[in-house]
Structure 1
């Protein structure tokens, strides 16, 4: 299978060593290994002290699966396959899809969610999020008109990265009812579930809501993306077994230290999530004031979940030129819309890190220079 360059990750790879400041990170504040080990209960301390650096169970580490299952309502540990999150997307798409299959994909989203089906020879129908006066929204008439019995898979990313969009419960029910009527499988990348800005708007996992759903999650929102541990969740045993078998060709099993660190984190998930949620909400308030101050050239579209936002640079300014200027002149890394396959003049803002204000101060210098050109 030949696949297009993963533009989003290539930008990070190309410019990370040059960037002193980063405005567009999607991961939350990182934890040190010592911080995680200090949270360990006696069982986890013993597992860490007795750690052997051999192969691990290809199906997963039982204590970790049990801890992950606590984040769901109806999911059992045996419904959880632990793996690298991006690996889970790759494996699922390769096991479910065939050339010619029709796939509807929420847009924008993580590029692999549409590039992998495209590389597999599928017909891609992009379901675009729309910018409105009250935030991002989905056109449900578009879905109703385009989904059909030919639609093999509906791909969602909720909370959405990069926009921060989240549907309300009635909207999600409508989506799943349409999928159910057509016999469509649903795949949801829900890494940032639990990071709703208003806790009252939280949705259950789609794995709990829909029998033909498969979901992907991971440790980004907990501050441990470097463990490269995530999970694929499905109640469908055929999908589970097919994904587990396909993994023999990728990583085979999890890394042994990561399994234990992830177990400690998931047993302390509530505390880690509260820490990072607080950082996101504080940065959200800072961002709202900043973009209101510079509303002549920046349009702020309110996110309601996750730890990213996707504001727009007003014309005649070009976001790609702005991003290039930022990295070359200010050592500030900003990810523009082309990384997500768009031409909309938007750019991603990451709200999950303690150094957000520092990066925003550097960005302010660039914005003020542009404002002088129109004053």
Structure 2
């Protein structure tokens, strides 16, 4: 299988070492090792102190899977397979899909969610998120017109990265009803579930409410993405077992230190989530003020959840040129639309880091230079 270049990750690989500032990080503020260990209960302290660096259980660490179940309402430890989040997407897609299958994918989203089905020979239909006067939305009528009994899989990313979109419950129910009537499986990358900006906008995990659901979660929003720990969840015993067997050909088992650190984190999930959500909401307020102040250059589209937003640079300016200028002149890394296969002049803003205001101040200098150059051009 030949997969197209993962442009989003290659962008970070190319510029991350050079960049002094980053405006587009999707991960939340990272925890230090000491912060995590200070949260450990006596059992986890003992596990850490006596940790063996031998092989771990392929299906995962039982205490961690038990801790993960607290984030769901009807999921058992046996419904969970531990793995690296991106690995989970790769394994699931390879198990579920065959050449010629039809897949509908909401877009924009993590590129692997549509590039992997494409590489497997599937017919991929992109279901576009649209900008409206009240924010991002999915046209459910588009899904109703395109989903058929031939549709093997519907791929969602809710809360969405990069837009921060979350459907209201009635919209989600309609989406799942359409999938159910056509016998379609639904896969949701739901890393940011629990980070709704308005608690009233919270929706349950699809694994809890749809019998053909498979979901991916991970430690990104808890501040431990460097552990590379995540989980695949489904009530389908067959899917969990088949994905576990496929994992024998990838990582086989998880890293032992990561499992204990992840267990500590998930036993303190509410506190970690509150910590990073507070950072996101503070940065969101700063971002809103900045983009509204510069509404002559940008269209700010309000996110509903997660740790990212996806504003648009207004014509005649080109977002790719802006991103290149930021990197070349200010060592500021900005992820533009091309990383998501788009041509709409949007770019990603990451709201989860404590240094966001500093990166935004550097970006403000770029904006001032753009505005000055525009004024000079008009005078000529």
Is 2:195 the counterpart of 1:204?
Answer: no
Q: Which residue of 1 aligns with 2:112?
A: 112
State the match for 2:174 in structure 1.
Answer: 174
User: What stretches of structure 1 move > 4 A for 4+ residues in a row?
Assistant: none
Partner residue, 1:60: 60
Quote how far apart the aligned CAs of 1:15 are: 0.2
State how far apart, in whole Å, the 2-side matches of 1:366 and 1:132 are.
Answer: 27
Which residue in the other structure is 1:258 paired with?
Answer: 258
Counterpart in the other structure of 2:231: 231
Offset of residue 370 of structure 1: 1.2
TM-score (norm 2): 0.98
| Residues 1:240 and 2:240 aligned together | yes
Would you say how many aligned residue pairs link Structure 1 and Structure 2? 375
Shift of 1:371: 1.5
In structure 1, the partner of 2:23 is: 23
Report the Cα offset of residue 109 of structure 1. Answer: 0.1
Task: Give CA-to-partner distance per residue, 1:182-232, whole Å, 9 cap, x none.
Answer: 000000000000000001111110000100000000000000000000000
TM-superposed CA distance for 1:373, in Å, is 3.1
In 2, the alpha carbon distance for the partners of 1:91 and 1:131 equals 33
Residue 81 of structure 1 corresponds to 81
SS in structure 2 of the partner of residue 216 of structure 1: strand
Aligned to 1:128: 128
Q: Distance in 2 between matches of 1:271 and 1:96?
A: 36
SS of residue paired to 2:59: coil
Report the counterpart of residue 100 of structure 2 in structure 1.
100
Any unmatched runs of 5+ in structure 2?
376-380
Unaligned runs of 5+ in 1: none
Q: CA RMSD in A?
A: 0.5
Question: How far apart are residue 369 of structure 1 and its match?
Answer: 1.2
Q: Deviations over 1:165-196 (max 9, x none)?
A: 00011000000000000000000000000000
Counterpart CA distance in 1 for 2:304 and 2:346 is 17
1:328-339 alignment, distance < 5 Å: 328-339=328-339
| CA deviation map 1:98-125 (0-9, x unaligned) | 0000000000000000000000000000
Q: How does 1:1-375 map to 2 (within 5 A)?
A: 1-375=1-375
CA-CA distance at 1:291 after TM superposition: 0.2
Q: Secondary structure at the match of 1:220?
A: coil
Cα-to-partner distance string for 1:138-184 (whole Å, 9 max, x where unaligned): 11110000000000000000000000000011000000000000000
SS at structure 2 position matched to 1:249: coil
Q: Tell me how far apart the structure 2 counterparts of residues 48 and 240 of structure 1 sit (CA, whole Å).
A: 28
Once the 2 structures are TM-superposed, how far is the Cα of residue 59 of structure 1 from its aligned partner? Answer: 0.5
Partner SS for 1:191: coil
TM-superposed deviation, 1:374:
3.2
